[in-house]
Structures are given as structure tokens and as C-alpha cells.
Amino acid sequence: MAGIKVFNRDGHAIIFNGDDMSLRRFSFEPYEVPPTPLSCKPENPSRLSRREDEGKALHPAETDGGTGTPDPRPFLGRLTLNVSNVCNMACRYCYASGGSYNTGPMMMDRRTALGAVNAMTRKFSGIQLVNFFGGEPTLNQEIIELVCEYFLYLRSRSVIRWTPRFGLTTNGYFMSDLMLKLLEKYDFSITVSLDGPGKIHDRLRVNKKHQGSFDAIDKNIRRIIAMGILPEFECTYTGEHLRNGFDLKRLMDYFHGRFRNRTLHCPMVIAPPGSGLDVPLETAVEIYSDAIGYSIENLERGIPSTISIATRLLHHISDGTPIRHFCPAGVSTLTVNADGNVYACPMLILGEGTCLGNVHGEAQEFGPPDHIDRLVRCVDKWRNPQCRECWAQPLCYGCIGEEIALAGSGIRRSVVKGRSPMCDFRRTLYEKLLVSASEAKLAQCASLTSEQKQTPSS
């Protein structure tokens, strides 16, 4: 049980009940009526953005497909296909060894692509989202088309009960006419990695000749928007932004004003302290807290511009559902690398010890290695005793791969013990959201966030 957390403010208290995800405001003034819940329910909950819910299937065909016979197989929220372990850029902070993930440069071939689809459709009752990833996935557009067509073929033959949604995470640097046609034909959701204005982006994300990439990416984004597709963006926040006076609020305004972006995903860079890219945790607390408060203010004013952490938390509060897992890796997500090896997620492609199997293997059980299994159990918020004692348990989420990378870079933030500087960081952000939401028209905020279409991010 998560229990109750009370935040004292001038003249009133804000009460968060983690057991039912309710948020109440209570005045300290005498003779006040008993506290009443702040309405969190949007008028039409079904309009909430469809997102993976860490193991909870959302598709109407998840149970029996109308046949009356429940499917005993598990449901997969997201299948990531690393169709290219090659990249056409040389970003300064790349965590994936130039896109190769230390497995060597390679492209997924037809046999592996079809084998991945066959293996996953046999093992799972359904797949909600197939996300094409890399390296840079647009360098292997023929395989992207093959996979999409094969899923449609399987659906036409009733081998699968429905066709998954398709997503693309791209740096946006290369966008051929064929790739644009595929995006439109298969109704892709798109996330573009862009680090803000050109003067900052071009210092961080360069091509193989170490030249700036912003102008080419900006041109391709314009082409995508002209097709009627509104991409989402992932902007990695770094010391470069900090030195140039760009906090998250300014980045939110930039992306919303230039590209009509609604929800900005802005993870913090993984870089060693003193590298020039790292952002001190105490500074990050202030920057992300301000962005959360700014998101609530925007929603209250009717401006659909938020940071993703605010949108996600408001989604769960308004829906009255806790976030089920700290990280969905290995729970409701799987990744197939270009060589056919299966991993919990791209950030856990860390060598043989993290490989769960191969799509060409006979058993295809994809069982986790012991230490990955222990790590997944460690971040099970409902079993970890330290997490169970924390008031923020139903709101808490993160990335296992990021925690491992941060520890390896010398930052030593977790890895998810329940009491750590990173845990304190998250609790501060959750408190900021709850307090800001309680002081706003929360029903209006929740209704507006229902219009925010979430797309896959790297």
C-alpha cells in the first residue's frame, strides 16, 4: 500500500492518496467544509492517448478476438526492431557506440526480419506497437516496408487478430521519397531526435563529417508536417543547453512554436561529471520542476504544450491507475537486434550476458539471464521493500538501461534501491506536479492531456 502523503502549503494542505490515486485540497481555515476530491476525470476517458501500460493490453481484441476463447498467451506492448546497427550521424553523447551497440555495424536482413515477426506473433497474443529503431532505421527502409507488409499479410490470413500500430524513431537526417510514402501508407507515429535550435543542436548532433545536421533535419520535418503527420520530438538535455540559457521551459516554447509540438520528451544526458555535457542533479531538479509547473500552467491556459513527465503523470492520475512498473523492459517490451538476438530493450544490449535468446533459435522462449531477471525484480515496485515504503510508489517510473549507464559513467545514482539521490530527484518532481495540479483546474488539465498523442521514443 502506497499510503497517504500530505504537502503543507500556506493556509492549506494537499493530500495525495496513492491507494486510489486521488488528490485533495484541504484548507486550514476554521469552519471549512470537509475536503473534497479534485476532479481528475476527463469528460471522455476513452479519448486518453493510447499508450502501452506496462503489461496491460489495451486493444479490444486482447481477450478472445470475438471468438469466445481467451488467448492464454501474454500480450506484448511494444516490439522494437533494430533494423539498422549503422548510423549516419556522430552525436557527441551517443550511448549506442555509434548505433552498433557494440555488436558491429550491420543491417537486419529479410530472414531475420521475417523470423522476428514469426517468433513474436507465435509467442504473444498480440502486439500493440512495432517500433523501428537503430542506429538509424531509415537506412534500411526496404526492411521497414517488408515488416509492415508482412503484418498486413498475416492479418489478411487471420494468423493475427489485428495489425499493430507502427512507429519510427529517427534522427530525421535522411528522409527519402520512399520513406515518406511508407510513413503515410502505414500511418506511422514518428519521434524525431532534435536537440533544439540549430546553434545548440549542431554542437551535439553532427553528421559523419562532423558538420551540423540541423538544416537538413528541419527541412525533412517540414516535409513530414506538410503530409499531415505531426511528429513528436526527443530532445536530450545537456550542459550545452544550460550554458546557452535554454531551460526546459524555453525548449518547450521553441518546439511548440516552430513545429506545433504538444508533448516534449526531454531526457537528461548520460555523461560523466565534468565532461561539459553533464547537468548537475541539483540543477536538473530545478529545471525539470519548473518545466512541470509550466506544463500545468500551459494546460490551464489552453495551450497544449507539456513535458512528457507531466503528461504521463496527469494521465495516470486522471485515469485513477498507478504506473505498474518502474520500467517495462522485459515485462511488456522486447527488442530484436539486427542479428536476431533478443533483448529487453535497446539500452540493455550490453553483450552476451543480457541476450534473452535469438529469433532463429528452436525454443524461442527468450528467457532472461539471471542477473537481468534479478534487475527486473529489483525494480518491481510492488515487491521491493524500499519502494513499498515510498509514498511516490504509484507514480514512479524510469529506465533500467539509463540507471545502469549512469552508474557506469561514475554518477552512481541508483541502480534503483529505493533510497538514492535519483529517488529523491524523482520524488521532488512528483511533488511539484501534485502541488501544481492541485492549484490548477485539474479537470481541464486532464481533459487537455487526453488530446496529447504519445509516440515511441528512444
- Using one digit for the tens of pLDDT, what is the confidence trace for 195-206? 999 999 999 999
Averaged pLDDT for residues 431-445: 78
CA distance 102 to 118: 26
Question: Which helix (H) or strand (E) element contains residue 276?
Answer: none
**Contact present, 234 and 266 (Cβ < 8 Å):** yes
**Of 296, 295, 368, which is closest to residue 330 (Cα–Cα)?**
368
Q: What is the CATH number of the domain that holds 252?
A: 3.20.20.70
Residue 167 included in any domain: yes
Q: What local confidence, expressed as pLDDT, does residue 417 receive?
A: 55
Let me know whether 31 and 81 are in one domain: no
**Contact present, 397 and 427 (Cβ < 8 Å):** no
**446-455 b/e (C-beta count within 10 Å ≥ 16 → b):** bbbbbebebb
Q: What is the mean pLDDT of the chain?
A: 84
Residue 452 or 312, more confident: 312
Q: What local confidence, expressed as pLDDT, does residue 53 receive?
A: 37
Let me know whether 25 and 51 are in one domain: no
pLDDT tier at 57, thresholds 50, 70, 90: very low
Let me know whether 150 and 107 are in one domain: yes
Instruction: Give the three cell numbers for residue 147.
Output: 515488416
Residue 335 included in any domain: yes
Residue 457 included in any domain: no
The tens digit of pLDDT for each residue in 221-239 reads 999 999 999 999 999 999 9
Residue 440 included in any domain: yes
Among 192-196, 307-311, 324-328, the least confident range: 324-328
Q: What local confidence, expressed as pLDDT, does residue 8 receive?
A: 86
Helix axes 421-438, 308-319, angle to 10 degrees: 60
pLDDT > 70: percent of the chain: 79
Q: Is the pLDDT of residue 102 over 90?
A: no
Let me know whether 27 and 143 are in one domain: no
Q: What local confidence, expressed as pLDDT, does residue 183 receive?
A: 97
Let me know whether 309 and 377 are in one domain: yes
Record the pTM: 0.86
Let me know whether 27 and 165 are in one domain: no
36-37 β-sheet, strand order:
4-9, 12-17, 22-27, 36-37
The tens digit of pLDDT for each residue in 115-127 reads 999 999 999 999 9
Let me know whether 81 and 24 are in one domain: no
The tens digit of pLDDT for each residue in 373-385 reads 666 666 678 777 7
Let me know whether 16 and 146 are in one domain: no
Q: Which residues contact 244 (CB under 8 A, 6 or more apart)?
A: 199, 200
Domain that holds residue 32: 4-37
Residue 454 included in any domain: no
CB atoms within 10 A of CB 372: 21
CA distance 357 to 373: 14
Using CA atoms of 287, 292, 294, 297 in order, give the dihedral in degrees to the nearest 10: -160
Residue 342 included in any domain: yes
Averaged pLDDT for residues 133-157: 97
Residue 255 included in any domain: yes
Let me know whether 174 and 235 are in one domain: yes
Instruction: State the total domains in the chain.
Output: 2
Residue with cell 552525436: 91
Q: Is the pLDDT of residue 302 over 60?
A: yes
Instruction: Give the three cell numbers for residue 328.
Output: 517495462
Q: Burial-class residue 362 by CB neighbours within 10 Å (0-12, 13-18, 19+).
A: exposed
Let me know whether 13 and 130 are in one domain: no
Q: Is the pLDDT of residue 73 over 70?
A: yes
Q: Which residues contact 277 (CB under 8 A, 6 or more apart)?
A: 92, 93, 238, 239, 240, 269, 271
**Of 271, 137, 247, which is closest to residue 196 (Cα–Cα)?**
247
Instruction: Give the three cell numbers for residue 116.
Output: 522476428
Q: Which residues contact 327 (CB under 8 A, 6 or more apart)?
A: 379, 397, 398, 399, 400
CA distance 274 to 413: 16
Residue 81 included in any domain: yes
Alpha-carbon distance values, 293 to 123, 250, 272, 289, 300 (Å): 43, 13, 28, 6, 11
pLDDT tier at 445, thresholds 50, 70, 90: low
Instruction: Give the three cell numbers for residue 380.
Output: 518491481
The tens digit of pLDDT for each residue in 354-413 reads 888 899 875 456 665 565 566 666 667 877 778 888 899 999 998 888 877 766 544 444
Q: What is the 3-state secondary structure (H, E, C) of 51-102?
A: CCECCECCCCCCCCCCCCCCCCCCEEEEEEEEEECCCCECCCCCCCHHHCCC
Let me know whether 23 and 166 are in one domain: no
**Contact present, 42 and 49 (Cβ < 8 Å):** no
Let me know whether 90 and 29 are in one domain: no
